[in-house]
Structure 1
Amino acid sequence: MTDQPPSAHPIALHMRGISKSFPGVKALQDVELEVRTGEVHAIVGENGAGKSTLMKILAGFYQPDHGEIEIGGHVVRHWHPREARERGIGMIYQELNLVPDLTVAENISLGRMPHRGPFVDYRAVTQKATEVLGELHADIDPATPLGNLSISQQQLVEIAKVMADKPRIVVFDEPTSSLGDKETRVLFEVIGRMRAAGIAIIYISHRLQEVMEIGDRVTVLRDGRRIETRDVEGVTPEHMVRLMVGRDVSEMFPKLDLVPGEQVLTVKNISRSGDFTDVSLDVREREIVGLAGLVGSGRTEVARAVFGLDPIESGEIAMRGRKVKIRSARKGMASGVALVPEDRKGQGIIPMLTVRENFTLPVIQRLTTALLIFARKERGIVRRLADRLKVNPPQIERPLSVFSGGNQQKVVLGKWLLAEPSLLILDEPTRGVDVGAKADIHEIIGEFAQGGGAVLMISSELPELLAVCDRVFVLHEGRVTAEIARADATEESVMRAATGQTGQVAA
């Protein structure tokens, strides 16, 4: 490619007048999208704005009710996923589409294994995986079973799988939602090389700073309609938010000034080999405590141990001053602990169940006798909770799988609120969630703390932690390197501790 601006490049994709309806929902209404070669075209909008539906139409999973798709100057109609892939469409979804029991190399060649006669050519499979992972600067052994990798490493394998097809148009749907800063930098470098090679890139993200950094143009969707398309240069995040939600969101991270009460959680010198060592922290009533650190620092492992999903080898945990041995999730719940996990789809919800059924999973024993479920009572409780949490649409008998990520996350939060825990552990509670739903979730967390609850919150977004939390504990390589009060917490002080530079951090 030349050094011409993207506006001078040929049109790679033109979607015109795209409309799509589902029973009771108009997902898209007369949407237009134009993407050029060598361009990063961002698409932003709240969950439910139509972004995913538009991309599924592009990928051939849905057929539009109206409109047409033009690829490289040729109109295509009624195409399907295989044809879309053959035409050079590559899709990298937020939710992983991989097989944990297969190796990294096998996942990268999944569905298109090279053969030598009647047998799979595993040497060629490994060679292809090595080449693609090398392009991504991913230090991953192709022979490793995928299930042994971290979520961020699995996301890089997902990207490698798409890049192995040499696509002409690549859609990134929240690609950094599971990546740390280092992996995100690597991804942006890869996207920069793809752009320079003339690949058209569609980039969907709720992280508006990423859009500002990497995008050339941005299209804003709201309620299934295209609101505006413009150059990223000169636009502000505030302007994008206003277009996305149709109103000003002046306070993304509202913080209540609460007076902490009695100590709820006390963790003293807990350790587990290979994950964390001598970790001590505490959380009080009406307090939100942050747990910061880089990917691999042990944040999630500590949270899982406190909830009882993973054992500790030494140290002790106390709830309200009383030592507890939490050796299972059931015992964690009985001790008053709830965990909203990092992996919403895999660990937080059962997608095929309804909103009602997901809400009441932890408390179903309260709504049953030996033989009967008190259906009327259950529906009443769930309707009130769905209304309080602003679940949209408020249709509690629909499968949770058809709801947006933000609404699914509200259901995960809501089911634990029904359990009335003393301690709520949140692992990336706003990951992959739009700005409107994020504000709703922060409000829910604040209400829980205001009511006397204790919150331990993990987030990779430092502005979120610094704005929401009363104190922040920082982990580096499995050890607590700092405890920083709200008044002293800055992005610099947290990052110094997160990278092990504890000499200049006031604890």
Structure 2
Amino acid sequence: MTEPILTLTGISKSFPGVRALHNVSLELFPGQVTALIGENGAGKSTLVKTMTGIYQPDEGEIRVKGQVVTLPTAISATHAGITAIHQETVLFDELSVAENIYLGHAPRNRFGMIDWKTMKNEAQKTLDSMAAGIDAGTPLKELGIAKKHLVAVARALSVDAQVVIMDEPTAALSQKEIEELYVLVELLKADGKAILFISHKFDEIYRICDRFTVFRDGEMVGKGFIKETPENEIVKLMVGRSVDHIFPARTATIGETVLEVKGLSHPTEFEDISFEVRKGEILGFYGLVGAGRSEVMQAVFGMTQIASGTMVLGGQTIAPKSAADAVEAGIVYVPEERGKQGVITGEPIFKNVSLPSIDKTSARGFIRMAEEFALARTYTERLDLRASSLSQNVSTLSGGNQQKVVIAKWLATLPKVIILDEPTKGIDIGSKAAVHEFMGELVSQGLSVIMVSSELPEILGMSDRVVAHARRAHHRDPRKTRIRSPRRWCVRRLVLPRRRRHEPASENP
């Protein structure tokens, strides 16, 4: 058997009140992709930070090509040949693409100055090898989320690393870009790189991974070869139980229309969007990344101003000019970009959850901390939040648990309509089931849910009706005499047959 490039043995790491890792081991082999699988809070992120020099282990050793190494800093990990592509990219909007790629290791000329021409040329070569379709001289702020993620991939590849860690690399990519990433992974394998691939999507894991290692509650509970192990066995290792029904049966009775949107248009993002959502209903918005779904929802929430159109909530016409107006009217929005728009990472959990409901937790101008804790506990327990305490800083939570904090924050406002934009993005299969079950509870209580998702099984399994979004090519609209711009969006309303409530929907469309 080929010797592993990277070996971790007996790694343990604890924080005050939390044992994040206990005696875990991991091996990464050249030319192979190893999947690191586990629920949110299982210790995956802590292990990655240990491998990249951000954390130092309390116990255990790390070997690179058989040699014991210490990684006191992130730079030392880079020098050891270990690089990571994180789920939440950390880039600088005011710098160019090339500057972001070579930040911290820019090529120098013979005078010790940055060689700008070489840097741009080398960055462009890396981008072209990925078929990214990005000009290295473009300011980063001009790129969308998916393109920024590809820049983060290029940044990692610009270092001649032997070990490449990919933490949810496809979370913000369209299907076309995901396929391109798969090709890139195959190129890295052919080049003898050892790849650690972290994902909650089993279709990805079974497509590109060779081995797997499963973590649960900070311990390694299983490993093996992907082709030799059925998916249900990995899921059982991951959650400690069998997950038979991902999409729970619901018994909600759909009532009258709560929110009606007519002819919603934006100068550049979408045109003539109309839909309605009823009491006790989950209305699914389906489309791939970049289809314009989020832009429509942000307009409904008052984050962006519309050019025309009307919205009627509970029989009253509303025109929210800000998010505060929308919340006051009874509409809340759980964003896709939770790190930037959903939480205050420098504050504890209980303050994040109680922030929009500050009037409920204060009296005579003073905040009552006991009320804040009680409010936060009510909703975080219902969502099965994994944290040491409600005083834990949100920045120390896993991505999936941060998402739960955002959902809990808005549910505490007792809204009429809740918009969930990719609610299970970056969430493991066990937590997905918890979120889906809770969505069912919400509609059973009469709440109206708009769920935006790019995962078709989730749309089919959870929605009562579906609105499909798609970017149209430049063509003539048969209903109008003018030409629609490529920046316009179209809406197709698909009515799904309501499934029998006692029969869970199949995950296959």
With the length of structure 1 as denominator, give the TM-score of the two structures. 0.92
Deviates more, 1:133-142 or 1:353-362: 133-142
Q: Distance in 1 between matches of 2:498 and 2:416?
A: 27
Look up the match of 2:475: none
Matched position secondary structure for 2:132: coil
Look up the match of 2:331: 337
Report the alpha carbon displacement of residue 350 of structure 1 after superposing the two structures with TM.
Answer: 0.5
Q: Distance in 1 between matches of 2:169 and 2:144?
A: 15
**2:48 is equivalent to residue 55 of structure 1:** yes
Matched position secondary structure for 1:366: coil
The partner residue of 1:402 within 396, 399, 413 is 396
CA displacement, residues 69-120 of structure 1 (integer Å, 9 cap, x when unaligned): 1101211135421111012111011111111221211111111223444653
Look up the match of 2:359: 365
Deviates more, 1:302-311 or 1:257-266: 257-266
Q: Distance in 2 between matches of 1:488 and 1:115?
A: 64
Answer whether contact 1:50 1:224 (CA < 8 A) is retained: yes
Question: Measured at CA, do residues 414 and 82 of structure 1 come closer, stay the same or move farther in structure 2, by a change above 3 Å?
Answer: same
**2:299 is equivalent to residue 305 of structure 1:** yes
Report the alpha carbon displacement of residue 392 of structure 1 after superposing the two structures with TM.
Answer: 2.2
Q: One-letter code of the match for 2:18? A: V
Answer whether contact 1:262 1:320 (CA < 8 A) is retained: no
Deviates more, 1:155-164 or 1:405-414: 405-414
Q: One-letter code of the match for 2:135? A: D
Question: Measured at CA, do residues 22 and 483 of structure 1 come closer, stay the same or move farther in structure 2, by a change above 3 Å?
Answer: same
The partner residue of 1:164 within 133, 158, 166 is 158
The partner residue of 2:384 within 381, 386, 390 is 390
**2:113 is equivalent to residue 103 of structure 1:** no
Report the alpha carbon displacement of residue 238 of structure 1 after superposing the two structures with TM.
Answer: 1.4
Report the alpha carbon displacement of residue 394 of structure 1 after superposing the two structures with TM.
Answer: 5.6
Deviates more, 1:367-376 or 1:434-443: 367-376
Report the alpha carbon displacement of residue 367 of structure 1 after superposing the two structures with TM.
Answer: 2.3
CA displacement, residues 345-391 of structure 1 (integer Å, 9 cap, x when unaligned): 11100011111100011111232245311222222222222322222
Q: Distance in 2 between matches of 1:43 and 1:97?
A: 22
Look up the match of 1:483: 493
Look up the match of 2:318: 324
Q: One-letter code of the match for 2:492? A: A
Q: Distance in 2 between matches of 1:236 and 1:181?
A: 25
Q: Distance in 2 between matches of 1:377 and 1:488?
A: 41
Answer whether contact 2:464 2:498 (CA < 8 A) is retained: no
Unmatched 5+ stretches in structure 2: 472-487, 500-504
**2:259 is equivalent to residue 265 of structure 1:** yes
Q: One-letter code of the match for 1:422? A: K
Matched position secondary structure for 1:276: coil
Q: One-letter code of the match for 1:427? A: D
Q: One-letter code of the match for 2:122? A: K
Q: One-letter code of the match for 2:341? A: Q
The partner residue of 1:314 within 308, 315, 318 is 308
Please show how residues 17-416 of structure 1 align to structure 2 within 5 Å. 17-116=10-109, 117=111, 119-393=113-387, 395-416=389-410
Answer whether contact 2:399 2:427 (CA < 8 A) is retained: yes
Report the alpha carbon displacement of residue 420 of structure 1 after superposing the two structures with TM.
Answer: 0.9
Answer whether contact 2:35 2:199 (CA < 8 A) is retained: yes
Residues paired across the two proteins, number: 487
Unmatched 5+ stretches in structure 1: 1-7, 495-507
Answer whether contact 2:379 2:411 (CA < 8 A) is retained: no
Report the alpha carbon displacement of residue 258 of structure 1 after superposing the two structures with TM.
Answer: 2.3
Q: One-letter code of the match for 2:39? A: E
**2:4 is equivalent to residue 11 of structure 1:** yes
Answer whether contact 1:387 1:394 (CA < 8 A) is retained: no
The Cα RMSD (Å) is: 2.0
Report the alpha carbon displacement of residue 299 of structure 1 after superposing the two structures with TM.
Answer: 0.6
Q: Percent identity?
A: 40
Matched position secondary structure for 1:53: helix
Q: Distance in 2 between matches of 1:292 and 1:148?
A: 26
Answer whether contact 2:37 2:198 (CA < 8 A) is retained: yes
Matched position secondary structure for 2:232: helix
Report the alpha carbon displacement of residue 265 of structure 1 after superposing the two structures with TM.
Answer: 1.4
Q: One-letter code of the match for 1:376? A: A
Please show how residues 389-468 of structure 1 align to structure 2 within 5 Å. 389-393=383-387, 395-468=389-462
Q: Distance in 2 between matches of 1:397 and 1:226?
A: 28
Deviates more, 1:201-210 or 1:270-279: 270-279
Q: Distance in 2 between matches of 1:371 and 1:335?
A: 23
Q: Distance in 1 between matches of 2:4 and 2:393?
A: 39
Q: One-letter code of the match for 1:89? A: I
Question: Measured at CA, do residues 273 and 119 of structure 1 come closer, stay the same or move farther in structure 2, by a change above 3 Å?
Answer: farther
Q: Distance in 2 between matches of 1:225 and 1:375?
A: 35
Answer whether contact 1:288 1:471 (CA < 8 A) is retained: yes
Q: One-letter code of the match for 1:25? A: V
Q: Distance in 2 between matches of 1:179 and 1:227?
A: 30
Report the alpha carbon displacement of residue 28 of structure 1 after superposing the two structures with TM.
Answer: 1.2
Deviates more, 1:386-395 or 1:245-254: 386-395
Look up the match of 2:477: none
CA displacement, residues 132-156 of structure 1 (integer Å, 9 cap, x when unaligned): 1111111122222222322111111
Report the alpha carbon displacement of residue 310 of structure 1 after superposing the two structures with TM.
Answer: 0.6
Matched position secondary structure for 2:24: strand
Q: Distance in 2 between matches of 1:145 and 1:421?
A: 39
Q: Distance in 1 between matches of 2:194 and 2:395?
A: 30
Q: One-letter code of the match for 1:483? A: R
Matched position secondary structure for 2:497: helix
Q: Distance in 2 between matches of 1:198 and 1:392?
A: 37
Question: Measured at CA, do residues 178 and 78 of structure 1 come closer, stay the same or move farther in structure 2, by a change above 3 Å?
Answer: closer
Q: Distance in 2 between matches of 1:88 and 1:440?
A: 38
